[in-house]
Structure 1
Amino acid sequence: MNSSPSQVILALLTVALLSGRASASGSFQSEPATESPVATTAQPTIRRAEPNFKKMDDYRQNGVAGPYYPERAARMGLQGGAALECLLLANGALTKCRVLVEKPPGSGFGDASLKMAESRWMTAKPTIAEGHPLAEETVDVLVPFVFRKP
């Protein structure tokens, strides 16, 4: 089975995101958890949103990142990605985003993903409930950066 670079990057980001969430929530522990007299609240389920990207022929070699592909990474032919947690609005805007994972670390892909969301280069489709989009929801967004040399 041949996987595209984007598929490989998305798989790596998914694993990193899930392991980060698991360790943050304490779901996967090597030692048995001790009982606590205080009730805990369940973490809300966060939906994975599929991002939509603007397309411009001038940036075809930069894949979905378009003009937001970090310059240094493009010069090096570096590929990777970022996982964001964002507030998705009914109009598809991704706001209040924060970087959860950046692969490889220090590549600039996390900051570039934040700029893509802020500028609305990247949007997502909101959940439809009872025929209407939700006013807002927290979502995870995986952003692949795959450079195609011209």
Structure 2
Amino acid sequence: MRIQTLIAIPIAVLLASTAGAATITSENLIWAAAPSFDDMAAAWPARGEGLAEGSASLQCRIVGAGRLTGCDTLSDQPVGQGFARAAKTLVAKFQLKIDPRALRKDQDYFVVVSFRFLNPDTPPGRARRVSNPRWISMPDPGRIQGVFPKAAADAGVTHGVGVIDCQVAPDGHLTDCKVSRENPTGVGFGDAALLVAPIMQMNPWTDDGRPVDGARVKLPVQFGLAP
């Protein structure tokens, strides 16, 4: 049985990899489910008391509909503080966004998952901050043009920004969005940004090994009226 290690496996790349034609990179990885900030805090190892952060990297076998099992430790830093063991307790929370029919029965598939833990007893560890999200769904320029506020256009305003404050859901979509500010004010850019929010989706696990579920984010949406 052949064994293939995958760093990232959207369906198209996965199918290509079985023929040996794909170069796999972490930027291609898409998750259907991943641990939350609460999950990461609960998994913080007892031996990590006094540390600000720790990290681990696991190589896991892909089974079924993108679930992970049989994980081996690739890195554990600082050594001996329990971060790899903590990471393994979170493996069941992950699910890759793949079509199981793309997995060949005569081939094993593995994925490498990184984890960056922050001490939940410190301010950075308590902050639910997403510093480096990867967007897997974004509105195209035509959709943004389509919700350009009529009040702004009628007033001769051709450019503006609406900033929205949103909760990140487990699947990376934005929920509970509110207008934070807009510029210029009073011509509808905040409300227009709210119309864009349902289209947007973050990858549920960041490339540097952090969650997004449970964070609140402020997102600026730029608007420009086409000539």
- TM-score in terms of structure 2 length: 0.36
Partner deviation per Cα, 1:76-116 (whole Å, 9 max, x = no partner): 24211011111112323111111111100112010111122
How far off is 1:126 after superposition?
4.2
Deviations 1:22-70 (A, max 9, x none): xxxxxxxxxxxxxxxxxxxx694644667652327xx3xxxx6132111
Matching residue within 58, 78, 82 for 2:158: 78
Q: Does 1:128 align with 2:213?
A: no
Partner in structure 1 of residue 139 of structure 2: 54
Q: 1:96 to 1:107 in 2, by over 3 A?
A: same
Evaluate the alpha carbon distance shift between residue 125 and residue 147 of structure 1 in structure 2; reply closer, same or farther with a 3 A threshold: farther
1:109 aligns with 2:194: no
Structure 1 window deviating more from structure 2 (75-84 vs 107-116): it is 75-84
| Count of residues paired in the alignment | 101
Tell me the distance in 1 between the aligned counterparts of 2:195 and 2:176.
Answer: 11
SS across alignment from 1:90: coil
Describe the shift of the 1:122–1:130 C-alpha distance in structure 2 as closer, same or farther (beyond 3 A): closer
CA RMSD of aligned residues (A): 3.3
Cα separation, 2, equivalents of 1:110 and 1:78:
15
SS in structure 2 opposite 1:140? Answer: strand
Higher helix share: 1
Structure in which a larger fraction of residues adopt strand = 2
Gaps of 5+ in 2: 1-122
Structure with more contact order per residue of length (Cα contacts < 8 Å, sep ≥ 6): 1
Query: Which residue in the other structure is 1:15 paired with?
Result: none
Percent identity, aligned pairs only, is 27
Tell me the residue number matched to 1:137.
215
Indicate how the Cα distance of structure 1 residues 142 and 124 shifts in structure 2: closer, same or farther if over 3 A, else same.
Answer: farther
CA contact 2:145–2:223 (8 Å) conserved in 1: no
State the partner residue of 1:66.
145
Rg larger for: 2
| 3-state SS, counterpart of residue 83 of structure 1 | strand
1:146 corresponds in structure 2 to 224
Distance 1:46 1:79 in 2: 29
Per-residue CA shift, 1:111-144, capped at 9, x if unaligned? 1111221xx2333344538867543311111111
Match of residue 88 from structure 1: 168
Q: 1:132 to 1:44 in 2, by over 3 A?
A: closer
Matches of 1:50 and 1:106 in 2, distance apart?
Answer: 31
Give the equivalent residue in structure 2 for 1:29: none
Aligned residue identity for 1:101: R
User: Is the partner of 1:116 in helix, strand or coil?
Assistant: helix
Which segments of 5 or more consecutive residues in structure 1 lack a partner in the other structure? 1-41
